[in-house]
Amino acid sequence: MVTTVTSYGRSGLSDWLVQRASAVILAVYSIFMVVYLLLNPLIDFAQWNSLFSGTSMRIFSLMALLSLGAHCWIGLWSVSTDYLKHFAVRFVFQMVIGLLMFIYTIWGVQLLWGL
Amino acid sequence: MLTVSIYRYHPELDEKPYMQDFQVDTGGKDIMVLDVLNLLKIQDRGLAYRRSCREGVCGSDGMNINGTNGLACITPLSSVVKNNKLVLRPLPALPVIRDLVIDMDQFYKQYEKIKPFLINDTPAPGIERLQSPEEREKLDGLYECILCACCSTACPSFWWNPDRFIGPAGLLQAYRFLADSRDTATEERLAGLDDPFSVFRCHGIMNCVTVCPKGLNPTKAIGHIRNMLMTRAT
Ligand code: SF4
Ligand code: SF4
Ligand code: FES
């Protein structure tokens, strides 16, 4: 058993599952967006605005946003443990990524709810 | 004449490793890479490499042959040589002791971690622990591993984390004991593998499957372990 305190879920299995599930959510969200834009090529601000004011769309977007944060964190954490061999460098990198993900998530919530 | 370029390194004499070229007369025959090494050994008595069985059974002559890991003794020249040139290097990722001889310590440490022996604390039966033919069949494709390290040293995940990722060879054996009907330590074994490195550093690159000289499939075994971990957790 290799112990790590900086991984996302502490267990390899939960990280792996979160990574797979978030990938599916992000894929569905991306496909939805592309299809929506293709079906509405001449979309204007009012329509765009009404799309994002529906509760289901907000839930869907928030889900995609949280997935993005978790997915990035697990992925980049993995990359950092592969390639950054110096403890201090790796730690700083992980903290910066963690902080960025936190900021983006809060910021995204603000945008979604138009706060 | 075949041109053979070999990785040379003698830590007491050389400052740095270097590649040395030799010309070898193969007599136009399609011999094995190990035969070429034996011919070279006549030219240069100091050349170091491991070999024992010379028939793909002992696993001691794993090396990097024209860029791909394999066993020298069962690799015919015709399957690897292009433009009449043969390039031999030690297996990647592990420290070199001398020339083609590597230090397998890290590889064995990972093997040791998975407890490569049957664990069963129930009272031993009079003669032996029996298995049905079906139970025995589950070990096919697992027990044949000769621990040559061709797979683990071809795996990028093992290159980057040889101390934390068990590697394909060790994981194939981990599953060999998980799948054994006579072993009762399934829970402990799984508990020891459920961290982000031991199993989950495998990204399914499948280099291990490509190079295994025994035609085994560590990626599949890793998939089985992952499924067992999943069943255990949900
Ligand atoms: S799985 Fe194949 S390549 Fe890996 S150590 Fe065993 S025999 Fe060698
Ligand atoms: S499939 Fe997994 S174990 Fe095999 S080479 Fe790829 S990462 Fe390594
Ligand atoms: S010498 Fe034994 S496997 Fe090649």
* Residues B130-171 pLDDT 10s: 999 999 999 999 999 999 999 999 999 999 999 999 999 999
Q: Are residues B197 and B151 in the same domain?
A: yes
What whole-number distance in Å separates Cα of residue A77 and Cα of residue A86?
14
The confidence score (pLDDT) of residue A10 equals 77
CB atoms within 10 A of CB A109: 15
Boundaries of domain holding B186? 105-233
What whole-number distance in Å separates Cα of residue B75 and Cα of residue B30?
10
What whole-number distance in Å separates Cα of residue B1 and Cα of residue B182?
54
Q: Are residues B32 and B131 in the same domain?
A: no
CATH, residue B88: 3.10.20.30
Report CB contact under 8 Å: A1, B233. Answer: no
**Pocket residue to mutate for ligand 1, from B173, B212, B219, most atoms within 8 A of Cβ:** B212
Q: Is the pLDDT score of A64 beyond 70? A: yes
Give me the number of domains chain B comprises.
2
Strand partners for B89 = B64
Report CB contact under 8 Å: B196, A4. Answer: yes
Report the mean per-residue pLDDT for chain A: 92
Residue A1: band (very low, low, confident or very high) from pLDDT cuts 50, 70, 90: confident
CB B126, CB B185: distance < 8 Å: no
Last residue of a domain, one of B50, B77, B102: B102
Report the mean per-residue pLDDT for chain B: 96
pLDDT in tens, B198-215: 999 999 999 999 999 999
Q: Are residues B7 and B46 in the same domain?
A: yes
pLDDT in tens, A5-50: 888 877 999 999 999 999 999 999 999 999 999 999 888 999 998 9
What whole-number distance in Å separates Cα of residue B151 and Cα of residue A65?
38
Q: Are residues B110 and B97 in the same domain?
A: no
Q: Are residues B71 and B113 in the same domain?
A: no
A3 neighbourhood in chain B, CB within 8 Å:
195
CATH, residue B122: 1.10.1060.10
Check if B192 contacts A (Cβ < 8 Å).
Answer: yes
Q: Are residues B110 and B96 in the same domain?
A: no
Average of pLDDT values for B180-184? Answer: 97
Looking at chain A, the whole-number percentage of residues with pLDDT higher than 90 is 75
Q: In Å, what is the CA distance from A60 to each residue of A36, A53, A57, A109, B71?
A: 14, 12, 5, 12, 53
Q: Are residues B98 and B112 in the same domain?
A: no
Residue A115: band (very low, low, confident or very high) from pLDDT cuts 50, 70, 90: low
User: From the list A1, A7, A13, which residue is nearest B230 (CB)?
Assistant: A13
pLDDT in tens, A2-17: 878 888 877 999 999 9
Name residue B134's amino acid. Answer: E
pLDDT in tens, B100-139: 999 999 999 999 999 999 999 999 999 999 999 999 999 9
What whole-number distance in Å separates Cα of residue B59 and Cα of residue B52?
8
For the stretch B48-61, what's the b/e string if a residue is b when 16 or more beta carbons lie within 10 angstroms of its beta carbon? bbbbeebebebbbb
- What's the whole-model pTM score? 0.91
Q: Are residues B29 and B58 in the same domain?
A: yes
C-alpha gyration radius of chain B: 20
Last residue of a domain, one of B55, B70, B102: B102
Residue B2: band (very low, low, confident or very high) from pLDDT cuts 50, 70, 90: very high
The confidence score (pLDDT) of residue A9 equals 77
Check if B108 contacts A (Cβ < 8 Å).
Answer: no
Q: Are residues B142 and B51 in the same domain?
A: no
Catalogue all structural domains in chain A, each as residue range(s) with its CATH number: 12-113 (1.20.1300.10)
Q: Are residues B78 and B133 in the same domain?
A: no
Q: Are residues B68 and B119 in the same domain?
A: no
Q: Are residues B64 and B141 in the same domain?
A: no
Residue B224: band (very low, low, confident or very high) from pLDDT cuts 50, 70, 90: very high
Compute the CA torsion angle A24, A30, A36, A41 (nearest 10 deg).
-160
CB B63, CB B90: distance < 8 Å: yes
Report CB contact under 8 Å: B196, A2. Answer: yes
